[in-house]
Amino acid sequence: MSSLYLLGIDTGGTYTDAVIFREPEGVIAKAKSLTTRHDLSKGIAGAVEKVLATSGIAPSDIAMVSLSTTLATNALVEGQGGRIALVMIGFSEEDLARGGLADALGQDPVVHVPGGHDVHGNEMALDMGAVDEAAKAFGDNVSAFAVAGYFAVRNPAHELRVRERLREKTALPITCSHELSSKLGGPRRALTTLLNSRLVPVIDRLIDACQGFLASIGVDAPLMVVRGDGALISAAEARLRPIETILSGPAASLVGARYLTGLDRAVVSDIGGTTTDVAVLDDGMPRLAEEGAIVGGHRTMVEAVALRTFGLGGDSEVHIDDRGLTPAIALGPRRILPLSLLAARYADVVVSVLEKQLRSVRPGRHDGRFAISTGLPRNLVHGLKPQDEALLQRVGPVPAPLDDLLQATAQKAVLDKLVTHGLVHIGGITPSDALHVLGRQDQWNAQAARLGFELEARRKDGSGRTMAGSAEALAEMVVAQLTRYSAEAILTTCLGEDGGETIDPSGSPVVDRALRRHPGIARFSVSLDRPLVGLGASASIYYPAVADMLGADPVIPDHADVANAIGAVVGQVRSVVVVVVTSLGEGRYLVSGGADNLVVVGDEHDALTAARERARTKALEHAARDGASNALVTMAEEVDRPEVEGFARLLEARIIATAVGRPRTTSL
């Protein structure tokens, strides 16, 4: 392993990061490129080309590539993805109302097929004619099929038969629910399957673009993708189970934090351009969401890290309320383009407009604000009205000042709708601009940042005074507010982990006094029981003050700015298989899960032995399928053996096998 060069890639909201990594040296080189949201492959290409040039490593020397991405998460949050036909085997119409399935389905078609199984795996009559009708009706106007069978985790036979028939009739991707989860709860498993199918074309485009670019520059190495629990999965399996990549980016940051710090217990806060993600490390492992990850308002059955995401980052929109006697500053949750970043590419346009606005005697309503097209293909967005289309036609590839663009007050709502659909970016002042004004960042155009803050600083509050005495004074206020918001976000997460969800740090006078160290006869303080690890490009700027506010020891590791990309390459493949032994009574035991076939055994000991062997064997097979080399297996058992009439009788046993191994590389 010591001679192998590994390439880690992370696509974030603002930047795409890349690292060249090798044990035992660690990070050999790192690079960043602006994320191109309309075509992520361009941001990936920019970062990879830079890191290869910086390191001097030949593309042919790369032995493994690993990718963490926010693409699946963003697609679900924004309602993107393909149109899906959901095939429900043995479910009723009423089941659509359970688990949020109807909301997730939206306008996509659903087909109810008689069939399915009972809790013991016994089958009902399956109507394949309904499957043939579904293939004929929807085979040409959906992008994939999702198949969910009643009690398919006990017996997947009907899901498999339906999948084979759909494959005979169509050439579309098909996902079966038993492939994604071994848990009971049919409607929520169906929801997870639906979302997975919806993401297939989304992840296919990303992996195709990434693999195509890597091949074009001579990288011939396995491509892995980070799952939402921090483990790695092969690109081929990610295409089949893209739902597992939700929360991939935050999970990679936690793995990177553990590697960079060596800490077993910590609170990890990762500030990016768009969001701040906060999670807790215990025993060197991130806590996992026991009930499944929630993305886009949908609770899935996907195992993922337990974290909280806040709309707070370096590119958060700055709101200044000038209606009161003293100005109030709020941040986010929307991400906008910092003026310094916008002017890095369009300096002549942005700077000249800002200077003109500053020369005006009276401040304009939209001073310092611009709109620019994102470049997202128009055919990916539906439901726009004529007034939406009309305004969109006026937003081009060059920044336009909002004062010129918006000709009526009502058009502001139209513009916000275009932003929500991902068709338009807004440009304005952000915390990143504040750091440029204060000289703490310098990667973009500091002149534009200063002009933007000068425009805001000259506004007057309710008492007739200017917002701030200078651009620097206003920038310090914005930085202070981001520090306070960060502390509240971290405290909210920690209180939630402790069962204190009823305490709202942002609205509690007691918490406010504690965070401000307010003097008084009764003094309140707050502290964390473990270090605060700060990650992100601006972590070293913000988190020492955040940690001080929270009474925690700050840890800002080297390479904190690319922790996600590091986490992508140091992670491991992890495969879990659950086999269930269920008592059928009369000395008969059903062994199900982990394989397509059911086994009925007449002896409890033999049933448990068969279950353990099946779980171990299948865990190793799945780990190898997911890209692992030389995986090791650990076993665990959950046995329900109640006492009946003085005798303990086996009711059900869950045999859990976990196989863990490093991903294969080109030299293995």
- Among 460, 478, 496, the domain-final residue is 478
Best CA proximity match to 88, nearest among 30, 23, 35, 145: 145
In order of 13, 124, 274, 299, 320, the CA distances from 316 in angstroms are 11, 54, 6, 27, 13
Which one is predicted more confidently, 20 or 462? 20
Instruction: Let me know whether 453 and 580 are in one domain.
Output: no
Q: Give the pLDDT score at 480.
A: 96
Instruction: Let me know whether 326 and 461 are in one domain.
Output: yes
Give pLDDT tens digits for 353-393.
Answer: 999 999 998 888 899 999 999 887 766 565 678 898 899 99
DSSP state, 664?
Answer: P
Question: How far is residue 253's CA from residue 231's CA, in Å, rounded to a whole number?
Answer: 12
Which CATH number covers residue 117? 3.40.50
Give pLDDT tens digits for 302-348.
Answer: 888 888 888 899 999 999 887 766 778 999 888 899 999 999 999 99
Structural domain that includes position 378: 316-478
Residues 89, 155 contacting (CB under 8 angstroms): no
- Among 155, 182, 199, the domain-final residue is 199
Question: How far is residue 156's CA from residue 30's CA, in Å, rounded to a whole number?
Answer: 46
632 in a structural domain = yes
- Among 478, 503, 526, the domain-final residue is 478
Instruction: Let me know whether 468 and 579 are in one domain.
Output: no
Continuous segment of H or E residues that includes residue 67: strand 62-69
453 in a structural domain = yes
258 in a structural domain = no
Give pLDDT tens digits for 438-467.
Answer: 999 999 999 999 999 999 999 887 777 888
19 in a structural domain = no
β-pair partners for 278: 269, 308
Instruction: Let me know whether 608 and 472 are in one domain.
Output: no
Least confident of 218-232, 513-527, 626-640: 513-527
SS3 sequence of 85-134:
EEEEECCCHHHHHCCCHHHHHCCCCEEEECCCECCCCCECCCCHHHHHHH
Instruction: Let me know whether 437 and 335 are in one domain.
Output: yes
Instruction: Let me know whether 322 and 468 are in one domain.
Output: yes
Instruction: Let me know whether 583 and 452 are in one domain.
Output: no
pLDDT above 70 coverage of the chain, percent: 97
> Does residue 3 register a pLDDT over 80?
no
Looking at the 3D structure of the chain, how many domains does it have? 3
Residues 467, 457 contacting (CB under 8 angstroms): yes
Instruction: Let me know whether 333 and 469 are in one domain.
Output: yes
Instruction: Let me know whether 455 and 327 are in one domain.
Output: yes
Mean pLDDT throughout 268-284? Answer: 90
Question: How far is residue 221's CA from residue 215's CA, in Å, rounded to a whole number?
Answer: 9
Q: Give the pLDDT score at 2.
A: 46
Question: How far is residue 458's CA from residue 452's CA, in Å, rounded to a whole number?
Answer: 10
Give pLDDT tens digits for 33-84.
Answer: 988 877 778 889 999 999 999 999 999 999 999 999 877 777 776 666 778 8
537 in a structural domain = no
3-state secondary structure of 406: coil
Best CA proximity match to 320, nearest among 456, 158, 178: 456
226 in a structural domain = no
364 in a structural domain = yes
Instruction: Let me know whether 473 and 582 are in one domain.
Output: no
285 in a structural domain = no
Question: How far is residue 183's CA from residue 384's CA, in Å, rounded to a whole number?
Answer: 40
pLDDT above 90 coverage of the chain, percent: 52
Instruction: Let me know whether 324 and 193 are in one domain.
Output: no
Q: Give the pLDDT score at 667.
A: 61
Dihedral sign of CA atoms 62, 64, 70, 75 in order: positive
Instruction: Let me know whether 341 and 449 are in one domain.
Output: yes
Best CA proximity match to 252, nearest among 554, 571, 536: 571
